[in-house]
Amino acid sequence: MTTTGLLRLSLVAVLLAASPVLRAQSLNPAPAVAGVQSDINYLTGGYLRPLGEAVTAGLNNGWYHRAKSYPFGSFSISLEPTVGLIPDAQTSFTIRPENLSELELVNPSDNVTPTAFGPNEAGVQLKYDNQSLPLGAGDRTFSMPAGYGFQLLPLVHLSAAVGLPGHNTLRLRYLPSVPVPTLDRTDYALFGLGLQHSLTEWIPGLSALPLHISLMGGYSQFSLEQELPGNNNQQQALKLNTQSWTGRLLVSKEIHFLTLYAGIGYNGGHTRIQMKGSYRWVDPLDLNNPEKTIEDPVDFTTTGSNGIYGNLGMRLKFLKVIFLAADYTLGPYPALSASLGTQLKL
């Protein structure tokens, strides 16, 4: 087996070990491709938007576990699992009848349906609001898609940090394309680059304090692709492409082998969500031939998770070169992060 193959196998094993209670599910937004394009945009947007927002926020976690810059010539390598905690408000969305053009709710009082993070059960029922459609298409009903059943977004990546001159630390993060154990037929990959600069040595008076203070900025790219179930060779797929960035003010305090750290700053970014392939669709305006095929029906971008975030954590060092860290992130999308790695000096 190649080195890349071993790396991918080890990362998959960590993902599985980190989420033993999560069984593989299918996330299938295809049922929401119905009605005219405005209906498709409204329904798939409500279902998939929390997924895009959670990924954007999640990529900005796990960048650091101390404010002190690495000495020039020293470096660390670590494994960084993160679990995003999805707020209850993002597990369902309410379908407003006034926002539908050619569809209507079967039961107007039953209008709350799962998002991608909602329960693994069928959503509310809708039907076409056009009784003049032939072949009974005007009476056709369908259910909104189920969620994947967990309010969690597990991510993992490899991280490296290198001490540079001028009290700077270069940070790298990487994940080759690996399968997602909690989603069937799904792969994702990640890359990121960050820079941390110590303020302690430059601001008068700070060096006298028993604290380390620094600024950190990071940028990440992420891609995910899931082959949708039951696509009948129509190459249906869900694709996410994310770019995220964060800027943080960091503070840490070292007490022998223990480091307490905190950070606060702004998270930004966006996720482009696309549904690729061919989907069967009813055109309510074509009474003679209402059943059609639509290509690549969904393409939108989410930015709703951007905002102020902060985190608190602790880092333990063993045998002088091994460290273990964990922290909790507060913000619109909270998260738990961990790190296990080694720090060495050339």
Q: How many domains does the chain have?
A: 1
- Residue 230's pLDDT is what? 64
Residue 3 within any structural domain of the chain: no
Unique residue bearing structure tokens 């660390």: 76
Q: How do residues 111-121 score in pLDDT, each as one tens digit?
A: 999 999 999 99
- Residue 282's pLDDT is what? 73
Q: Can you give the chain as a three-state secondary structure string? A: CCHHHHHHHHHHHHHHHHCCCCCCECCCCHHHCCCCHHHHHHHHHHHHHHHHHHHHHHCCCCCCCCCCCCCCCEEEEEEEEEEEECCHHHCEEECCHHHCCCEEECCCCCCEEECCCCCCCCCCEEEECCCCCHHHHHHCEEECCCCCCCCEEEEEEEEEEEEECCCEEEEEEEEEEEECCCECCEEEEEEEEEEEEECCCCCCCHHHCCCEEEEEEEEEEEEEEEECCCCCCCCCEEEEEEEEEEEEEEEEEEECCEEEEEEEEEEEEEEEEEEECEEEEECCCCCCCCEEEEECCEEEEECCCCEEEEEEEEEEEECCCEEEEEEEEECCCCEEEEEEEEEEEC
Residue 5 within any structural domain of the chain: no
Residue 185 within any structural domain of the chain: yes
- Residue 14's pLDDT is what? 43
**What average pLDDT is seen over the chain?**
86
User: What band does 15 get if pLDDT is binned at 50, 70 and 90?
Assistant: very low
User: What band does 21 get if pLDDT is binned at 50, 70 and 90?
Assistant: very low
Residue 19 within any structural domain of the chain: no
Q: How do residues 24-46 score in pLDDT, each as one tens digit?
A: 566 789 888 887 889 999 999 99
Unique residue bearing structure tokens 């690495």: 70
- Residue 320's pLDDT is what? 80
Residue 31's CB is within 10 A of a number of other CB atoms, namely: 18
CATH number, residue 68: 2.40.128
Question: What is the pTM assigned to this prediction?
Answer: 0.87
Q: Is residue 341 a contact partner of residue 159, using CB atoms and an 8 Å limit?
A: yes
Q: Is residue 297 a contact partner of residue 237, using CB atoms and an 8 Å limit?
A: no
- Residue 148's pLDDT is what? 86
- Residue 147's pLDDT is what? 92
Average pLDDT (287-293) is 77
Residue 18 within any structural domain of the chain: no
Query: 238 vs 51, 123, 310, CA distance in Å?
Result: 12, 19, 31
| Residue ranges making up the domain that contains 193 | 25-345
Residue 233 within any structural domain of the chain: yes
Residue 245's CB is within 10 A of a number of other CB atoms, namely: 18
Residue 9 within any structural domain of the chain: no
Q: How do residues 214-243 score in pLDDT, each as one tens digit?
A: 999 999 999 999 988 765 567 899 999 999
Average pLDDT (134-151) is 79
Q: What are phi and psi of 135, to 5 degrees?
A: 60, 25
User: What band does 316 get if pLDDT is binned at 50, 70 and 90?
Assistant: very high
- Residue 326's pLDDT is what? 95
Unique residue bearing structure tokens 């101390």: 66
Q: How do residues 242-283 score in pLDDT, each as one tens digit?
A: 999 999 999 999 998 999 999 999 999 999 999 999 988 776
Residue 14 within any structural domain of the chain: no
